[in-house]
Amino acid sequence: MKIGIDKMAFATTDKYLDLRELARARNVDPDKYTIGIGQDQQAVVPPTQDIVTLAAAAAQKLLTPAAARRISTVIVATESGIDNSKAAAIYVKRLLGLSDFVRTVELKEACYSATAGLQFARGIVALNPQEEVLVIATDIARYGLNTPGEVTQGAGAVAMLVSRDPRVLAIEETSVSLTKDIMDFWRPLYATEALVDGKYSTSVYIDCFKEVLTRYQQLTGRPLADFGALLFHLPFTKMGKKALAAVLGDRTDGTAERLRQALTASQWACRQVGNLYTGSLYLALMSYLQNGDAHRGSRLGLFSYGSGAEGEFFTGILQPQFAENILPLTPALRQRQRVSVTEYERLFDEQLGMNPADVAFTTENDACPFVLTGQQDHQRQYRAN
């Protein structure tokens, strides 16, 4: 039985920052951000948006009444948790109006956990082929104002329906996971921003990629020529370029050219929203499928990486109806309003964060379909907008 991704949608906030403007405000050469890091814009998060509102906005695009009835399980993958106990998936389930008879859970392992969610979803569908699983990767990447990581911030969610006879990507059997206890990036319980050993994190990422790919190739005997594209977790687009270069070297043959072109197509969306943490790999997949030279029947290789650290390399076969089942990325990106650096800094400091006090946010400037209206008696308040 084929099992995999049946449909995909993406959502981000309705505001963005131009990174050339940020570079000027930080006294940095703008080329460092746009070429050295490979980012042009980043999503700006108003206090009325969080992982729940973003997740619900992405998932709502996928849901017809019939699809909603088939969902047995909602898995929300995130490392930007809003509660140490209650799963964000429960709020999302309520905002989407799903049946009470569903299973809901939140998964965490840095940027990796949506891939775990996808693999767990395959298991659920294998046991219950009539069921569908809604897997949502949703995150807000925050490093802090004036930090080296600031240019790699971002926000957004990717929602995926996992089913039998999928219309986008049938996931293949062989995958390789790798886990090592490494301190490259983490967020202690008392912190709202991540701590990161930036340069170290990039080398750990590449080592992990090479190790899982090598093992995958030992297990399957598949050369790189068997792949239509290699897709990467993209904390910033230069990271994908470094990872691909680590396995291609200076090869100039047709395979190398195809994989480089596919990478460029996969980077298009990340350049405009930044790091989505759990969703980055899946946004790269959507970006490639909408901008690249993708063909039905083609084998795609996906590298998922989460600091801490865990990586997985897995593959899928592109299905004939993939194009109709990747919801367009452009509207979410085009409908955004550009904000100044001053406005971005103000919004950055207005997040609910660790503040226990009651608060009511003004939502009239938020054009997203779901909003966080504030906090009352230590409870977050959400509603459709």
Catalytic residues: 79, 111, 233
Question: Which tokens sit at 189?
Answer: 């319980």
The answer for residues whose C-beta is within 8 angstroms of residue 280's C-beta and 6 or more apart is 111, 233, 234, 235, 270
Nearest CA to 54 out of 288, 379, 372, 304 is that of 372
Q: How far is the CB of 203 from ligand HMG (least distance, A)?
A: 9
Whether the Cβ atoms of residue 154 and residue 38 lie closer than 8 Å to each other: no
Is omega for the bond preceding 68 within 30 degrees of 0, making it cis?
Answer: no
Residue 358 corresponds to which tokens in the numbers above? 């009651």
Using CB under 6 A as the binding rule, whether residue 81 contacts ligand HMG is answered as no
What tokens appear for 23 in the block?
Answer: 């570079």
The residue behind tokens 């910033």 is 236
By CB under 6 A, name the one of 29, 253, 257, 324 that touches ligand HMG. 29
Encode 358-373: b = buried (16+ Cβ within 10 Å), e = exposed. Answer: eeebebeebebebbbb
Residue 343 token pair: 């406005």
29 known ligand binder: yes
If the CB atoms of residues 125 and 309 are measured against ligand HMG, the closer one turns out to be: 309
Decide whether 35 or 225 has the Cβ nearer to ligand HMG. 35
According to the annotation, is 275 in a ligand binding site?
yes
Structure-token match 């990629």, residue found: 209
Q: How many residues does the chain have?
A: 385
Q: How far is CA 230 from the centre of its chain?
A: 16
User: Per CB under 6 A, does 191 bind ligand HMG?
Assistant: no
Q: Is 277 in the site for ligand HMG (CB under 6 A)?
A: yes
User: Phi and psi dihedrals of 238, rounded to 5?
Assistant: -60, -30
Report the DSSP pairing between strands 185-186 and 359-360: unpaired
Return the range that interacts with ligand HMG (CB under 6 A); candidates 162-170, 224-232, 300-308, 348-356: 300-308
Binding mask 236-275 for ligand HMG (x = CB under 6 A): x-xx-----------------------------------x
Binding residues for ligand HMG, total number by CB under 6 A: 31
| 113 touches ligand HMG by CB under 6 A | no
Q: Is 235 one of the binding residues for ligand HMG (CB under 6 A)?
A: yes
Residue 140: beta bridge partners?
155
Does position 149 interact with ligand HMG (CB under 6 A)? The reply is yes
Q: Is 306 in the site for ligand HMG (CB under 6 A)?
A: yes
Judged by CB under 6 A, the stretch of 69-77, 126-134, 161-169, 199-207 that binds ligand HMG is 199-207
* Binding residue positions: 29, 143, 242, 275
* Binding residue positions for (3S)-3-hydroxy-3-methylglutaryl-CoA: 29, 143, 242, 275
Name the residues that contact ligand HMG, by CB under 6 A.
Answer: 29, 31-32, 35-37, 79, 110-111, 148-149, 151-152, 184-185, 196, 198-199, 201-202, 205, 233, 235-236, 238-239, 275, 277, 305-307
